[in-house]
Amino acid sequence: VQLVESGGGLVQAGGSLRLSCAPSVRTFTPDAMGWFRQAPGKEREFVAAVIWSGGNTYYADSVKGRFTISRDNAKNTVYLQMNSLKPEDTALYYCAAQPYYSGSIYATGNYHYWGQGTQVTVSS
């Protein structure tokens, strides 16, 4: 299973972008999906996640109130709506999936499948 991301780009501070992520196998339904990001010289960090059955969502403190994660059950697609973007949001954003929920959604090691990453650049 591959995860295919789209929606990154260049935007001015205060602007918005929406990222999408869908599995290459349409019948693949994960237990949880998340978004992570990695800026140059920094470690990959958790951004947001959603538990597929129930729809519970989780966010990093740095994006709460600005980013929204959502899912489309029919398309097995997860979205990340990013509003009020800041230059410090600039990073390569990765989609990730847990085929079976590990009980934790914050650590990269709990995710089995990863996308190739999509670049988000926010100019000041």
Compute the distance between CA of residue 108 and CA of residue 115 in angstroms, rounded to an integer.
Answer: 13
Q: What is the pLDDT of residue 23?
A: 92
Q: What's residue 6's pLDDT?
A: 94
Once rounded to an integer, what is the mean pLDDT over residues 36-56? 95
Confidence of residue 102 (pLDDT cuts 50, 70, 90): confident
Indicate the pairing of strand 9-12 with strand 118-123.
parallel
Q: What percent of the chain has pLDDT over 90?
A: 83
The pLDDT tens digits for 70-92 are: 999 888 899 999 999 999 999 99
Convert the pLDDT of each residue in 13-26 to its tens digit.
Answer: 999 999 999 999 88
Q: Taking Cα atoms as reference points, which of 94, 113, 98, 105 lies closest to residue 24?
A: 113
CA distance 53 to 49: 12
Alpha helices in 3-94 (DSSP H): none
Rounded average pLDDT over 36-65: 96
pLDDT at 45 over 90: yes
